[in-house]
Amino acid sequence: MSGIDDSLLNEADETVRVRLIVNGRKVACEVAPRETLVDCLRDSLELTGTHAGCEMGACGACLVQLDGRAVHSCLIFAVQADGATVDTIEGLSERGAIADLQAEFHRRNALQCGFCTPGMLVNAHELLSQVTQPSREEIRDALSGNYCRCTGYEAIVDAIDAVAKARGTSGGVT
Amino acid sequence: MDLGETAVKARAFSYFRAATIDHALDAHARAGDDARFIAGGQSLVPALSLRLQAPRLMIDITHIDELRGVRREGGHLRIGALTRHCEMLSEPLIAEFAPLLHAAAPFVAHPAIRNRGTFGGSVALADPASEFPAMTLALDAEIEIAGPSGRRRVRADDFFIDLFETALQPGELITAIYVPLFRADQRFAFDELARRRGDYALVGCGILATFAGERIHDIRISYLSVGNTPTRVRGAEATLVGSRLDAVRIAAAQAALEGDLAPPESDEVPPAMRLHLARVLLGRLLGRLGEAA
Ligand SMILES: Cc1cc2nc3c(=O)[nH]c(=O)nc-3n(C[C@H](O)[C@H](O)[C@H](O)COP(=O)(O)OP(=O)(O)OC[C@H]3O[C@@H](n4cnc5c(N)ncnc54)[C@H](O)[C@@H]3O)c2cc1C
Ligand code: FES
Ligand code: FES
């Protein structure tokens, strides 16, 4: 790779080609540099499971996994992710990676409108992959950047707690 | 902030992914300094989306290897500018040799933001409400800077100048932060008071103290969220040097804060309340240091 080419400076908003592995599939899309990853996912790739709420890092609705870690897709430009692996709620669902979390959220009414749910699930998935038996306090702490306007959080914490315990007794993390 | 009046999309810019420090510096100069380095983007992207900033060129520095990594160098721990907040929690060298950063890290934002935000970005931004800039002061860290005219190191004491203003000149890059290795005769403590976990603190404080037996030989106390910059409280420090940490000394240090701090007027947290919270926090932390013997 080399230094900057001066012509680049006069090409603001000229689209660039970005290659990603999204949910296990190689994709390429044309994006303007200012386009955030959440817009690219929703508009270009039609993966609308990732929600855009505040678009400034405050609500957590837009969480996706980037190279295996939960990040806000509203706080990264798609060009920055060129070459990276992205897993959205669609991919995690299809793979069955969060099936037990989804079932428990459903069973305990841990969602009403569902706007916050994809972000909650991505976050819960990361938490349980790092801490196998989190305390309720740790669960709350991990969810501190995810807003829910409907449930009052209690059922969400219950669901994650129940899954952590179930995974512990069944002896395996999916 | 009235979001109803504000666009939430950044203005158009060009994007350049730099592979080396020289390429990044050169790109900045060629854009006539109408450019921004982007690291974790966790502060910059919201600022662009709200159009508080609208540079012509975005220089991605996250692929520059030289800005990465944590290692011992002589009496210091060299922490690369791109070290992510989450690594402050997971990296064993940090837990061992810069435990104050390890202790402060859980208070920085939320897990997903810690997965991307960088140490260099936090120090460069110098938000007075941020944990890490204040901790560089407590640690007597040195900030290594690369610019068009070469490299230099600036002590944290000389780095923070005013609100969001630092010794960094336009087009200069933080490459690493050097922290003196934590020693067996030292103790540390960190805590903060916030309305909710993950929120920016109302007041936060970190302390690094060197003991000679039971007496304090040297102490550095640094606050966040008490003024325009991260703030050392030299009056309180002076009351403690040479003494044991007993109730009388702790009370004297708390009283000295009145001369050290002049919190700004604010609707949410009046200056008297902030000063009170600063005293409460200092009492707690010094108490913990005393017990840590
Ligand atoms: C919802 C939310 C809550 C947050 N809460 C907290 C909190 O409680 N405490 C806290 O400390 N922070 C908090 N943050 C901010 C977060 O910690 C940022 O990661 C950090 O302030 C900036 O680091 P960054 O790597 O993301 O920098 P960026 O956003 O990429 O850059 C910030 C600025 O620094 C410059 N810059 C970046 N790297 C360098 C470098 N190496 N050399 C020179 N200049 C550079 C950029 O040009 C830009 O001007 C929060 C952010 C959000 C969105
Ligand atoms: S949309 Fe990204 S955090 Fe709200
Ligand atoms: S279910 Fe509606 S916001 Fe959480």
Could you report the predicted ipTM of this complex, rounded to two decimals? 0.94
Same domain? A60 vs A84: yes
Give the pLDDT confidence score for residue B4 in this predicted structure.
45
Same domain? A77 vs A15: yes
A133 exposure class (CB count in 10 Å sphere: 0-12, 13-18, 19+):
exposed
Candidates B13, B110, B115; nearest CB to A12: B13
**For the residues B39-62, what does the mean pLDDT come to?**
96
Residues B120-153: tens digit of each pLDDT: 999 999 999 999 999 999 999 999 999 999 999 9
- Identify the CATH homologous superfamily for domain B187-291: CO dehydrogenase flavoprotein, C-terminal domain (3.30.390.50)
Q: CA-to-CA distance for B153 and B176, rounded, in angstroms? A: 9
Any B CB within 8 A of A123 CB: yes
Where in the sequence is the domain holding A69, given as residue range(s)?
Answer: 6-92
Same domain? A85 vs A10: yes
Average confidence score pLDDT of chain A:
94
Same domain? A70 vs A100: no
Same domain? A18 vs A73: yes
Whether B12 and A12 lie within 8 Å, measured CB to CB: yes
Buried b or exposed e, range A5-44, using 16+ CB within 10 angstroms: eeebbeebeeebebebebbeeebebebbbbbbbbbbbbeb
**For the residues B178-193, what does the mean pLDDT come to?**
98
Place of tokens 């995810």: A146
Amino acid present at B84: R
Same domain? A65 vs A101: no
Same domain? A71 vs A122: no
Out of A26, A58, A92, a domain closes at A92
Give the pLDDT confidence score for residue B5 in this predicted structure.
46
Q: CA-to-CA distance for A31 and A48, rounded, in angstroms? A: 17
Which residues on adjacent β-strands are paired with residue A36?
Answer: A77
Residues B78-91: tens digit of each pLDDT: 999 999 999 999 99
Positive or negative, the CA dihedral B38, B42, B48, B54 is negative
Query: How is domain B9-60 classified at the CATH fold level?
Result: 3.30.43
Sequence ranges of chain B with CATH classification 3.30.465.10: 66-180
In Å, how far is B130's CA from the nearest CA of chain A?
Answer: 16
Task: State the CATH number of the domain containing residue A23.
Answer: 3.10.20.30
Count of CA atoms in the C-beta half-sphere (13 A) of B108: 33
Q: Look at residues B223, B229, B225, B164 and name the one whose alpha carbon lies nearest to residue B194.
A: B225
Sequence ranges of chain B with CATH classification 3.30.43.10: 9-60
Query: What does the CA dihedral B245, B246, B247, B253 come to, rounded to 10 degrees?
Result: -30
Residues in chain A: 174
Out of A64, A92, A120, a domain closes at A92
Average confidence score pLDDT of chain B:
95
CA B137 to chain centre: 8
**For the residues B106-116, what does the mean pLDDT come to?**
96
Give the pLDDT confidence score for residue B118 in this predicted structure.
98
Out of A25, A57, A92, a domain closes at A92
In Å, how far is B252's CA from the nearest CA of chain A?
Answer: 35
Whether A56 and B116 lie within 8 Å, measured CB to CB: no
**For the residues A41-46, what does the mean pLDDT come to?**
96
Place of tokens 């791109």: B82
Give the pLDDT confidence score for residue A2 in this predicted structure.
74
Candidates B11, B14, B62; nearest CB to A8: B14
- Nearest-10 crossing angle of helices A99-107, A154-170: 130
Residue range B66-180 forms a domain whose CATH class is alpha beta
Whole-model pTM: value is: 0.96
Q: Look at residues B177, B172, B170 and name the one whose alpha carbon lies nearest to residue B53.
A: B170
Give the pLDDT confidence score for residue B293 in this predicted structure.
61
Q: CA-to-CA distance for B72 and B97, rounded, in angstroms? A: 9
Which 126-165 residues of chain A touch chain B by CB within 8 A?
126-127, 140-142, 144-146
HEC-encoded secondary structure of B159-227: HEEECCEECCCCCCEEEEEEEECCCCCEEEEEEEECCCCCCCCCEEEEEEEEEECCEEEEEEEEEECCC
A32: closest chain B residue by CA: B12
A160 contact residues in B (CB cutoff 8 A): none
Q: Look at residues B108, B203, B127 and name the one whose alpha carbon lies nearest to residue B165.
A: B127
The answer to whether residue B220 scores a pLDDT higher than 70 is yes
Is residue B125 lining ligand 1, measured as CB closer than 6 Å? yes
In angstroms, what is the span from residue B52 Cα to ligand 3's centroid? 30
Q: Which helix (H) or strand (E) holds A101?
A: helix A99-107
In Å, how far is B180's CA from the nearest CA of chain A?
Answer: 30
A61: closest chain B residue by CA: B112
Is residue A74 lining ligand 2, measured as CB closer than 6 Å? yes
Same domain? A50 vs A70: yes
Asked if residue A1 belongs to a domain, the reply is no
Confidence of residue B261 (pLDDT cuts 50, 70, 90): very high
Sequence ranges of chain B with CATH classification 3.30.390.50: 187-291
Is residue A28 lining ligand 2, measured as CB closer than 6 Å? no
**For the residues B176-201, what does the mean pLDDT come to?**
94
Candidates A34, A36, A69; nearest CB to B115: A69
Same domain? A35 vs A12: yes
Task: State the CATH number of the domain containing residue A166.
Answer: 1.10.150.120
Strand positions, DSSP E, chain A: 16-22, 25-31, 63-66, 69-72, 85-87
Same domain? A76 vs A125: no
Is residue B146 lining ligand 1, measured as CB closer than 6 Å? no
Same domain? A37 vs A71: yes
Candidates A36, A71, A79; nearest CB to B112: A71
**Minimum CA distance residue for ligand 1 atom 14:** B109
Q: CA-to-CA distance for A156 and A100, rounded, in angstroms? A: 13
Residues with CB under 6 A from ligand 3: A 111-116, 148-151
Same domain? A100 vs A82: no
Any B CB within 8 A of A7 CB: no
Q: What percent of chain B has pLDDT over 90?
A: 92
The answer to whether residue A174 scores a pLDDT higher than 70 is no
Asked if residue A67 belongs to a domain, the reply is yes
Confidence of residue A103 (pLDDT cuts 50, 70, 90): very high
- Number of domains making up chain A: 2
